[in-house]
Structure 1
Amino acid sequence: MTSEFLKYQAQTTPHPLALEISHANGSFIYDTNNKAYLDFVAGVSASPLGHNHPRVIRAIKQQLDKYMHVMVYGEYIQKPAVELTKLLAKNLPKPLEKTYLTNSGTEAIEGALKLAKRATGRSEIIAANKAYHGNTMGSMSVMGFEERKQAFRPLLPDVRFINFNSIKDLEKITTQTACVILETIQGGAGFIEPANNYLAKVRKKCNDVGALLILDEIQPGIGRTGKLFGFENYNCIPDILVTGKALGGGMPIGAFTASTNLMDLLMDNPKLGHITTFGGHPVIAASALATLKEITESELIPQTLEKEKLFRKLLVHSLIKDVRGKGLMLAIILDSAKITNQLILKSQNKGLILFWLLFEEKAVRITPPLTISEEDIIKGCSIIIDVLNEIQQA
């Protein structure tokens, strides 16, 4: 199968990990040799309830027996999508009350940027250096990493960049600015949290100049940081909230949420201001609804902070320079990119799945399912320490 994978399926890097997957359950993935791998990545934060969660699988199967795709987004009343958007509104502060469902996080970013331009009549977008918001052309335009986008220019005009956590850079937000788009916690940059009430200060600046604030919660959202939404940790409510990844419970989804007054701008003048065929797909919405119910009705969210404490207690080694992030959105910071690569690849050989971050070459991603047990955290961290000892002794 490896040769066919490389021959027929387009690749994203010259050296994919190329595990051939047989099945997955809970916090474990199994290859075709039935070797078990403890999953510390959760599909890059997209499987918050682990693999094959019974509540999610049951919801998917029940919806499959009723209907799948019947009409493009927004025309027919389909209960799973209505119930999902209603539950999101119930769990969000005012004025975040109306949600547009999309197929992916990057599509939701595109919709959010369009909405900000439509609402303000302005064209300037302020984004952050080392930001990652997706890989379509609009999302790439607000990616703060030139190496990854220079081959695809020209991109959107009128995009300016600021440094995350820089108060001085807030001077660049002016009455020409349509929106400021930030990750609540910077992901690809190394899981950088906002410091010194930064997001609240961005919020005030946007209010002062009439710009909208878009917060990208595609990674930190849906319970990963000890709150249902990451911004709840930082004294800041955005004008437009973007979610994805974990919301689908392992199925492909994105969403952007705003006030009714803002979101209704996409209905008219022009009509069909943002459209999608498969957004709000009933099977995916059913999966997302079951996922959101499980996370909000259980103790998983407060448990993330206890599990974070356990990770921080166990991940102590002379090669580990820092453990960044919050809840179960953590990154080990090592001495060098070489050690990062060795740790990820050697850990896979020992049955532990770790992964890289996009821009910080010294970082190792730890974003396990929220459902991971303390026993499995101890087991995985033991593998990490053992591998680091091997690297140090080599």
Structure 2
Amino acid sequence: MKQDFLKYQAQTSPHPLAMEVSHANGSYIYDTNNKAYLDFVAGVSATPLGHNHPKVINAIKEQLDKYMHVMVYGEYAQNAPVKLAKLLAKNLPFPLEKTYLTNSGTEAIEGALKLAKRATGRSEIISANNAYHGNTMGSMSVMGYEERKQAFRPLLPDVRFINFNNEDDLKLITTKTAGVILETIQGGAGFIQPENGYLEKVRKRCDAVGALLILDEIQPGIGRTGKLFGFENYNCIPDILVIGKGLGGGMPIGAFTASSQHMDLLQNNPKLGHITTFGGHPVIAASALATLKEITESNLMAEALEKEQLFRKLLVHPLITDIRGKGLMLALITPSADITNSVILQCHNEGLILFWLLFEPKAVRITPPLTISNDEIIKGCSIIIDVLDKIKK
């Protein structure tokens, strides 16, 4: 399988891990030799309830027995996507009340950028340096990392960049600005949180000049920071909220949510302002609905903060210089990229799945399922410390 994987399936890097997967359950992934790997990554934050959660699986099977795809997005009323959009509205502050369901996070970013331009009649988009919002052309245009996008230029015009947490840069947001797009917590940059009321200040600046604030919650969202969405920790309500990854419970999904006043602009002038064939797919929406119900009706969000403290208590070592992030969105920082690479690869050999971040080479991603047990956290952290001890020697 590995040979065919490398020969026939397009790769994203020269050296993929290429683990041959047999099955997965709970907090574990098993290879074809039936070796168990404790999962501290959760599909890069995409499986918040772990693998094969019974409520998610049952919801998918029930929908499969009824029907799969029946019509392009937005024409037919279908139970699962309607209930999902309604439950999102119930759990979001006013005026975030209408949701457009897409196939992926990057597609939702594309829709959000279009909506900001449509609502304001302006063209300028402001993003942050070291930002990551996806890899389609519009999303790549607002990526704040030139090395990853220079080969694909020209990209969207009228995109400017500011530094995250730099209040002086807010003056660059003007009456020419259609939208400001920020990750609530910068992911690829190393899980950088907003400081000193930064997001509140961005919100006020956008209000002052009539620009829309787009917050990308594709990584921080769906309970990972102790709240359903990360922005709830920072007293800042966006005009457009972008969701992805964990919302699908392991299935591919994205969404952007805004006020009815703004979202209805996509219906006319022109009609079909944003269209998709498979967005809001009933099987995926059923998975997302079951996931969202479980997270909002359980104690998993509160437990995420308790589990964060357990991680911080256990991960103390001379080669750990910092632990960034909030809840179960954590980045362990080592002194060098070489040490980080060694930690990730050696832990994998020991049966623990860790991963890299996009733009911070010293960071080790720790984003386990919200359902991970304390015993599993203790087990995984012990592996990390043992590996670090060997590196130190």
TM-score normalised by the chain length of structure 1: 1.00
1:175 Cα offset (Å): 0.3
Query: What is the rounded CA distance, in whole Å, between the counterparts of 2:92 and 2:140 in structure 1?
Result: 28
1:383 Cα offset (Å): 0.2
Which letter maps to 1:104? S
Aligned twin of 1:373: 373
Aligned twin of 1:156: 156
Query: What is the rounded CA distance, in whole Å, between the counterparts of 1:94 and 1:333 in structure 2?
Result: 37
Aligned twin of 2:225: 225
Deviations for 1:48-96, whole angstroms, at most 9, x for unmatched residues?
A: 0000000000000000000000000000010000000000000000000
1:264 Cα offset (Å): 0.0
Query: What is the rounded CA distance, in whole Å, between the counterparts of 2:77 and 2:183 in structure 1?
Result: 32
Which letter maps to 1:267? Q
1:194 Cα offset (Å): 0.1
5 Å-filtered alignment, 1:343-354, equals 343-354=343-354
1:106 Cα offset (Å): 0.1
Secondary structure at the aligned position of 1:99 is classed as: strand
Is residue 195 of structure 1 aligned with residue 233 of structure 2? no
Query: What is the rounded CA distance, in whole Å, between the counterparts of 2:310 and 2:228 in structure 1?
Result: 20
Runs of 4+ in 1 over 6 A off after TM superposition: none
Is residue 250 of structure 1 aligned with residue 279 of structure 2? no
Aligned twin of 1:302: 302
Aligned twin of 1:103: 103
Query: What is the rounded CA distance, in whole Å, between the counterparts of 2:230 and 2:92 in structure 1?
Result: 12
5 Å-filtered alignment, 1:143-292, equals 143-292=143-292
Which letter maps to 1:2? K
Aligned length: 393
Query: What is the rounded CA distance, in whole Å, between the counterparts of 1:389 and 1:259 in structure 2?
Result: 52
Aligned twin of 1:316: 316
Is residue 62 of structure 1 aligned with residue 65 of structure 2? no
Secondary structure at the aligned position of 2:131 is classed as: coil
Secondary structure at the aligned position of 1:320 is classed as: coil
Deviations for 1:133-171, whole angstroms, at most 9, x for unmatched residues?
A: 000000000000000000000000000000000000001
Query: What is the rounded CA distance, in whole Å, between the counterparts of 2:243 and 2:98 in structure 1?
Result: 13
1:30 Cα offset (Å): 0.1
1:369 Cα offset (Å): 0.1
Deviations for 1:255-295, whole angstroms, at most 9, x for unmatched residues?
A: 00000000000000000000000000000000000000000
Aligned twin of 1:74: 74
1:197 Cα offset (Å): 0.2
Query: What is the rounded CA distance, in whole Å, between the counterparts of 2:342 and 2:362 in structure 1?
Result: 11
Query: What is the rounded CA distance, in whole Å, between the counterparts of 1:96 and 1:298 in structure 2?
Result: 23
Secondary structure at the aligned position of 1:332 is classed as: strand
1:32 Cα offset (Å): 0.2
Query: What is the rounded CA distance, in whole Å, between the counterparts of 2:71 and 2:111 in structure 1?
Result: 20
Which letter maps to 1:262? H
- Cα RMSD for the two superposed structures: 0.2
Query: What is the rounded CA distance, in whole Å, between the counterparts of 2:248 and 2:40 in structure 1?
Result: 18
1:236 Cα offset (Å): 0.1
1:323 Cα offset (Å): 0.2
Query: What is the rounded CA distance, in whole Å, between the counterparts of 2:2 and 2:236 in structure 1?
Result: 47
Q: Which runs of 5+ in 2 are unaligned?
A: none
Which letter maps to 2:126? I
Query: What is the rounded CA distance, in whole Å, between the counterparts of 1:76 and 1:173 in structure 2?
Result: 40
Query: What is the rounded CA distance, in whole Å, between the counterparts of 1:334 and 1:347 in structure 2?
Result: 14
Aligned twin of 2:131: 131
Is residue 22 of structure 1 aligned with residue 50 of structure 2? no
Query: What is the rounded CA distance, in whole Å, between the counterparts of 2:293 and 2:176 in structure 1?
Result: 41
Query: What is the rounded CA distance, in whole Å, between the counterparts of 2:203 and 2:178 in structure 1?
Result: 13
Query: What is the rounded CA distance, in whole Å, between the counterparts of 1:377 and 1:142 in structure 2?
Result: 35
Deviations for 1:183-217, whole angstroms, at most 9, x for unmatched residues?
A: 00000000000000000000000000000000000
Which letter maps to 2:251? M
Query: What is the rounded CA distance, in whole Å, between the counterparts of 2:3 and 2:308 in structure 1?
Result: 40
Query: What is the rounded CA distance, in whole Å, between the counterparts of 1:119 and 1:52 in structure 2?
Result: 40
Aligned twin of 2:121: 121
Which letter maps to 1:93? P
Which letter maps to 1:103? N
Which letter maps to 1:49? L
Query: What is the rounded CA distance, in whole Å, between the counterparts of 2:77 and 2:176 in structure 1?
Result: 39
Secondary structure at the aligned position of 2:99 is classed as: strand
Secondary structure at the aligned position of 1:188 is classed as: coil
